[in-house]
Amino acid sequence: MRCSGVVCSNAVMPERWRVEPGKPVRLESIDPSSTPGAPGGKAETVATLPAFHERLAALQERLWAEHRRSLLVVLQALDAGGKDGTVRHVFRGVNPQGTTVTSFKVPVGEEVEHDFLWRVHRAAPATGEIGIFNRSHYEDVLAVRVLGLAPEKVWKARYDLINAFEQTLHHGGTTIVKIYLHISKEEQRRRLQARLDDPDKRWKFSAADLEALRHWDEYREAYEDALVKTSTAIAPWYVIPADRKWYRNWVVSRILVKTLRRMDPRYPQPMEHLPATIE
Ligand code: AMP
Ligand code: MG
């Protein structure tokens, strides 16, 4: 098997992109514009997406009907990394009933007055639900670390706290999948420039985006640390080359379908004595 970083060319899908617990991750060795395992170029790959949307929708319906377990999808990326686009494309077919999306911003008000996991735990999916985190508790070891918003000893202690928290969710019946959308600095710059150039996208631009570009290397280091310290058997990280949006959508769809298939949610047993007809 040929491996470059965590991307191994012959590994079974979707393990190809999974960060093995305890194994160091070198993001530099993963080409963000690569498309390993894709069934062809853009057109061929995009043509397979409707089938994934259908499967995802069918599996979500069963998860909701079963109402015993939940799925948490954590999406992390640098600014303009494609988190919003992933939510929009990948979850296109799912029923909004039974799905929650939570976007985590700079903590404010009550959020600041509690421990860093308080707001996150409250947003965790209930039984039957798919919960999507657009950013997450990982900002507390990423942005907080890179921008110096807390002392080192504070953010350093958080990796273990995060692992324990995710273990708690798992114990409560939540399957966890964590996805890092890996884009190149050039692609990030291009997308941010596009936000400036397009009047309909300008609203998305913020000063924090420029900060992220300036701190590119520190973010990479912080991500590498977070990935290696918190990719666990019960809450694995997947690193997705994400410069090409069609490839990103295809991989994320595959991972989610595979994860839900493994969960194998079942419709509940019908009532014991069902009437044959309604009088
Ligand atoms: P956006 O996702 O573009 O709306 O931006 C949200 C901003 O909030 C990003 O700059 C994040 O880094 C920041 N953010 C989210 N959570 C935290 C946190 N716990 N501490 C500090 N900054 C955060
Ligand atoms: Mg932003």
pLDDT digits (tens, 9 = 90+) for 120-139: 999 999 999 999 999 999 99
The ligand whose atoms approach the alpha carbon of 80 most closely is 2
- Cβ(215) – ligand 1 distance below 6 Å: no
Q: Is the separation of the CB atoms in 225 and 167 below 8 Å?
A: no
Confidence class of residue 14 from pLDDT cuts 50, 70 and 90? confident
- Cβ(149) – ligand 1 distance below 6 Å: yes
Q: Output the pLDDT for position 3.
A: 45
Burial of 200 (0-12, 13-18, 19+ CB in 10 A): exposed
Residue nearest to atom 10 of ligand 1 (CA): 208
| Ligand 1: nearest atom to the Cα of 142 | 12
Q: Output the pLDDT for position 5.
A: 45
Query: Where does 18-68 show beta strands of DSSP type E?
Result: none
Report the percentage of the chain scoring pLDDT > 90: 86
Q: How far is Cα 214 from Cα 209, in angstroms, rounded to an integer?
A: 9
Neighbours of 64 (CB within 10 A): 19
Point out the least confidently predicted range of 2-6, 93-97, 120-124, 199-203: 2-6
pLDDT digits (tens, 9 = 90+) for 91-107: 998 999 999 999 999 99
Point out the least confidently predicted range of 45-54, 58-67, 154-163, 210-219: 210-219
Question: Which of 105, 119, 149, 215 gets mutated to test ligand 1 (max ligand atoms within 8 A of its CB)?
Answer: 105
- Cβ(139) – ligand 1 distance below 6 Å: yes
Q: How far is the CA of 109 from the centre of ligand 1 (A)?
A: 15
DSSP 92: T
Q: How far is the CA of 138 from the centre of ligand 1 (A)?
A: 10
Model pTM above 0.85: yes
Q: How far is the CA of 223 from the centre of ligand 1 (A)?
A: 15
Residue nearest to atom 12 of ligand 1 (CA): 143
- What is the CATH topology of the domain spanning 15-263? Rossmann fold (3.40.50)
Residues facing 135 on adjacent strands: none
Parallel/antiparallel/unpaired status of strands 237-241 and 130-134: unpaired
Tokens of 127: 């039984």
Residue 209: pLDDT over 80: yes
Going by C-alpha positions, the residue among 77, 71, 53, 236 that lies closest to residue 85 is: 77
Residue nearest to atom 2 of ligand 1 (CA): 105
Give Cβ neighbours of residue 34 (< 8 Å, ≥ 6 apart).
Answer: 7, 241
Parallel/antiparallel/unpaired status of strands 7-8 and 3-4: antiparallel
Burial of 9 (0-12, 13-18, 19+ CB in 10 A): exposed
The ligand whose atoms approach the alpha carbon of 147 most closely is 1
Confidence class of residue 7 from pLDDT cuts 50, 70 and 90? very low
pLDDT digits (tens, 9 = 90+) for 107-117: 999 999 999 99
For 277, the 3-state DSSP assignment is coil
Report the percentage of the chain scoring pLDDT > 70: 96
- Cβ(114) – ligand 1 distance below 6 Å: no
Question: Which of 139, 154, 218 gets mutated to test ligand 1 (max ligand atoms within 8 A of its CB)?
Answer: 139
Amino acid at 279: E
Query: Which residue do the tokens 């420029």 mark?
Result: 210
